[in-house]
């Protein structure tokens, strides 16, 4: 990705320090933060300073590598204690965001490498990050074949650069189409309660010069009913064997409406997001987040000073499931780094 003319990845490692774009400060401030221990990485993931399936996976891989390195220094010469340290670190990392499949994929691979040596753990973590970027680029190239001149695309949450190491998934085909000179237009759902669409997707599209507009989460059905949407593309946090897909809360209703109005609904995700251990969406663990994300919002005043304000009825409580599950029957197809799988042909293009 380019920010002010400079190339960045969302997350990367230099030496024993992990650097990442602080997503909670966007779009109002562009800040690079760092993590020097696996505990720091866990905090960044849990607080959603870094978020999105691929980016979480890369950060988790780096966190596991840092834990393997720390174990070799903090508990040298004691094999049992060394392994216990690494296993406890893995459990801590995997507890940060229970729905995101890429997190578990990365920690598992780096853990196995770390059983051989810290250097192998570091190399594996970097390989996972590099592959995430390469897979996202390939997803964009395949997805671009679905986009015609003038295509109007609706997307939910943020599955662009910021959600992966680079390129993204749902937005990667959009960027490829835009670079090819196609006149593509994006409707970005605001994506309450954390407004990843309004804050992150819109910011990315603005950086790339892609025509777009932010829409309220409940406007998608009306737009589709009026024939104003040609295609829906979302990302995914976990995909079951039968094609059921967990993604940001609100995705399910978009899929149902798309089915009703014959709008193709595609899920863009690398194969690392597919979980062979989940037969269907009923096996998914859905993360429940703090109610304060619903009750409060944060933004700058005219001086740029950030404020957190209550936007709901004082004294009321909120439910805050982070994800929902879209049954496979609503999904037209999956765009992966290996190609397009037209999973369900009942939606017509």
Return the active site residues: 237
Which spans in the chain are helix H? Answer: 38-46, 53-74, 79-94, 101-114, 118-144, 172-179, 196, 202-208, 220-225, 251-261, 292-295
Alpha helices in 145-225 (DSSP H): 172-179, 196, 202-208, 220-225
**How far is Cα 172 from Cα 215, in angstroms, rounded to an integer?**
20
Instruction: Output the six-digit token pair for 280.
Output: 């269907």
Whether residue 27 is preceded by a cis peptide bond, meaning omega within 30 degrees of 0, is: yes
For residues 304 and 307, give the distance between their C-alpha atoms in angstroms, rounded to a whole number: 9
- Helix-helix angle 118-144:172-179, to 10 degrees: 60
Say which DSSP state 321 is in: B
First to last CA, the chain: 30
Calculate the CA 191 to chain-centre distance. 13
- Spell 306-324 as b/e; 16+ CB within 10 A means b: eeeeeeeeeeeeeebebbb
3-state secondary structure of 110: helix
Q: CB–CB of 247/327 below 8 Å?
A: no
What 3-state class would DSSP assign to 325? strand
């Amino acid at each position: 990705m380019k920010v002010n003319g400079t190339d960045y990845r969302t997350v990367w490692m230099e030496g024993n320090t992990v650097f990442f774009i602080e997503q909670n400060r966007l779009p109002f401030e562009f800040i690079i933060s760092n993590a020097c221990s696996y505990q720091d990485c866990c905090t960044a993931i849990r607080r959603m300073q870094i978020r999105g399936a691929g980016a979480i996976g890369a950060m988790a891989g780096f966190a596991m590598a840092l834990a393997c390195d720390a174990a070799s220094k903090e508990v040298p010469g004691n094999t049992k204690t060394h392994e216990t340290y690494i296993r406890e670190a893995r459990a801590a990392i995997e507890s940060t965001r229970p729905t995101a499949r890429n997190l578990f994929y990365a920690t598992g691979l780096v853990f196995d490498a770390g059983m051989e040596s810290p250097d192998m753990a570091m190399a594996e973590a970097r390989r996972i990050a590099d592959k995430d970027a390469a897979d996202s680029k390939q997803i964009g190239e395949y997805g671009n074949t679905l986009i015609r001149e003038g295509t109007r695309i609706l997307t939910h949450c943020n599955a662009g650069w910021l959600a992966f190491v680079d390129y993204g998934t749902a937005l990667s085909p959009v960027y490829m189409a835009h670079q090819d000179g196609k006149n593509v237009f994006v409707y970005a759902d605001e994506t309450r309660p954390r407004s990843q669409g309004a804050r992150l997707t819109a910011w990315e599209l603005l950086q790339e010069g892609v025509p777009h507009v932010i829409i309220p989460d409940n406007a998608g059905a009306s737009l589709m009913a009026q024939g104003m949407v040609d295609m829906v593309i979302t990302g995914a946090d976990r995909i079951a064997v039968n094609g059921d897909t967990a993604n940001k809360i609100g995705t399910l209703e978009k899929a149902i409406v798309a089915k009703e109005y014959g709008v193709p609904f595609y899920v863009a995700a690398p194969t690392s997001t597919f979980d062979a251990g989940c037969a269907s969406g009923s096996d998914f663990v859905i993360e429940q987040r703090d109610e304060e994300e619903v009750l409060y919002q944060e933004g700058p005043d005219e001086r740029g000073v950030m404020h957190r304000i209550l936007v709901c009825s004082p004294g009321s409580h909120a439910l805050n499931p982070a994800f929902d599950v879209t049954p496979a029957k609503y999904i037209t197809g999956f765009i992966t780094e290996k190609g397009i799988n037209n999973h369900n042909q009942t939606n017509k293009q």
